[in-house]
Amino acid sequence: MKLARQQHEVQLRVGQLLTLTIKSLGINGEGIGYYRKKIVFVDGALPGEVVRAEVTRVEQNYAAARLRSVLERSAQRVEPPCPLYHQCGGCSLQHLDYQAQLVSKQALVEEALRKYAGLAQPPVAETIGMEHPWNYRNKAQFQVGQKGGRLIAGLYKPGSHELVHLPECPIQHQETSKIVAKTREILEKLRIPAYDERRRSGVIRTIVARAAFATGEAQLTLVTAVPEIPRVDELIQELRRQLPALVSIVQNVNPHKTSLVFGEATRTLWGKPSIVEKMGELSFDLSARAFFQLNPVQTVKLYDQVKQAARLTGRELVFDLYCGTGTIALWLAPFAKEVRGIEVIPEAVQDARRNARQNGIGNVSFYTGKAEELLPQWAKRGIKPDLVVVDPPRTGLAAVLIDALLEVRPQRIVYVSCNPSTLGKDAGRLLRAYELRHVQPLDMFPHTPHVEAIASLERKTGGR
């Protein structure tokens, strides 16, 4: 037995060249093939292709390989429009035709529900995509560094600390690309240095640009390692002159050695502390550190799908768990009797309450705390929801929250997922008391492997 296992392991080694037929795409956009029943992940390979790949890593249950050549090419393979696509790593599916991307994302959701929820035929609809799947990101967050005596701004190459300079980016809103490019030029002209992490010297760590699609307002945030920016008055003057869309210039100070972008201290250098964005009938003030969806066009479609799945009549009590800054709660409030949002981050709850006030919505309330604690507490007091909306992080629902939902048993649950795997696992547990009626995938981030999904669960007949 042991000898047989050792012989099996010898069959695959780092550096070995394999010829593989790619069967599907993985959750990170990599091609999936099989070598003697062992799964092999190949970055850049597409379903239907026969490829030559070099093994780079061997684990007990899988292997990873580098694409060396495509022997039989997929009809869906296209030339990536971004010249830095293969270096940057910000996208991983530009080489796949967009309609094929949508099909692959539907398949990801279906496979996750088959694998983790045990559903032979999961009720998954076709993915909702974008008419124009470019220039959709409203926020650019580019690291700053030095290379060859020049100041550069961009993203780190995957698996390295090598900064790739991005003069422009086809998935960024054109205004954010312009803000980053001009800011970099002005910083270089004024000789305001980038922060050097190894030497612990310099000033500018990150350039963050945000543009409001509906109002046209734009904000620049400079994340610095030190409190004072040299020649700051000249910097502001040049930024205002060359970037007329700016209404807010902000500094955030992060002196720590950390992977986190933002530090605790934020101050307005010029203009307003926030910009205004609108979605549908709602408006939102966005400060430098405020969370907001990165694709406003698709966010409206997402929230409309949540509203459709909720099937509200105006008589329901709705709980919005993991409510963040309250966007889903506020979207549903006009169609419900009352909406309660729960969020563990106090600053997000403050933003949610402010958003409710400025939009004149009075039938919503927001609470700081853990949903798995507040849900049963309210139930004991006779406050039970008709509908629960959950929009958890990629890790999915806490096990204790699933237990609380199975105890309280609202009539409907609408699950907004950003990770098919955790959706499948959580749905599998909820199926003890609920039926999965419909799942709607939605493409929030074209040319990346990420997919959102809105799942509708209905309490089984006879459930209390």
Alpha helices in 311-359 (DSSP H): 327-332, 346-358
What is the SS3 assignment for 393-410? CCCCCCHHHHHHHHHHCC
How many angstroms separate the CA atoms of 208 and 190, rounded? 19
How many angstroms separate the CA atoms of 406 and 409, rounded? 5
Beta strands 265-271 and 218-224, pairing class: unpaired
Geometric angle at alpha carbon 190, from 265 and 239, rounded to 5°? 65
User: Which residues lie closer than 8 Å to 14 by C-beta, 6 or more apart?
Assistant: 55, 56, 57, 58
- Asked if residues 153 and 142 have their Cβ atoms less than 8 Å apart, the reply is yes
Residue 418 annotated to the active site: yes
376 backbone φψ class: left, alpha, beta (φ>0; ψ -120 to 50) = alpha
How many angstroms separate the CA atoms of 25 and 448, rounded? 12
- Asked if residues 32 and 26 have their Cβ atoms less than 8 Å apart, the reply is yes
Q: Which of 82, 169, 323, 418 is catalytic?
A: 418
How many angstroms separate the CA atoms of 234 and 260, rounded? 28
Number of CB atoms found within 10 A of residue 1's CB: 5
The residue type found at 41 is F
Token couple for 264: 């605790």
371-380 helix and 399-408 helix, angle to the nearest 10 degrees: 20
Query: Phi, psi (5° rounding) for residue 92?
Result: -140, 10
Alpha carbon 359 to chain centroid, angstroms:
26
Residues paired with 422 in a beta bridge:
none
Which of the residues are catalytic? 418
